[in-house]
Amino acid sequence: ETGVTQTPRHLVMGMTNKKSLKCEQHLGHNAMYWYKQSAKKPLELMFVYSLEERVENNSVPSRFSPECPNSSHLFLHLHTLQPEDSALYLCASSHLGAANTGELFFGEGSRLTVL
């Protein structure tokens, strides 16, 4: 596989469920990102990981918990979500440091519906 792969592509969960979104990149990048895109709204940056260390957390509620076990994998653990959390969750990766061109590579997204 190449590029950035996200699973599952679609997820429906109740407000009391615990689920996780997974992202995997095969591009040798050293930074990974979670973005949220609600209906008819711009993309919102949620978290940034650089070399497996979280470097940015844009005031995201604690019911979203990211995990970056290595430079190729990124998870978003979901717990006690609200219906307004229903959105498209996008993962991206890039080079940082000397190889940084500012180009982000996105996955296809995970469409989350919270009932």
Partner 1 sequence: DAKTTQPPSMDCAEGRAANLPCNHSTTSGNEYVYWYRQIHSQGPQYIIHGLKNNETNEMASLIITEDRKSSTLILPHATLRDTAVYYCIVSSHSGYALNFGKGTSLLVTP
- Output the CA torsion 59→63→69→75 (10° steps): -100
Does 107 engage in binding with partner 1 (CB under 8 A)?
Answer: yes
Contact with partner 1 (CB under 8 A) among 1, 53, 84, 103: 103
State how far the Cα of 63 lies from the Cα of 15, in Å rounded to an integer: 11
Quote the least distance from Cβ 61 to partner 1, whole Å: 19
Instruction: Kindly write out the interface string for residues 73-92 of this chain, putting x where it contacts partner 1 by CB under 8 A and - elsewhere.
Output: ---------------x-x-x
Helix, strand and coil content of the chain, in percent to the nearest 5, comes to: 5, 55, 40
Stretch that binds partner 1, among 13-21, 29-37, 61-69, 73-81 (CB under 8 A): 29-37
Residue 48 or residue 81: which is nearer to partner 1 going by CB? 48
State how far the Cα of 95 lies from the Cα of 51, in Å rounded to an integer: 10
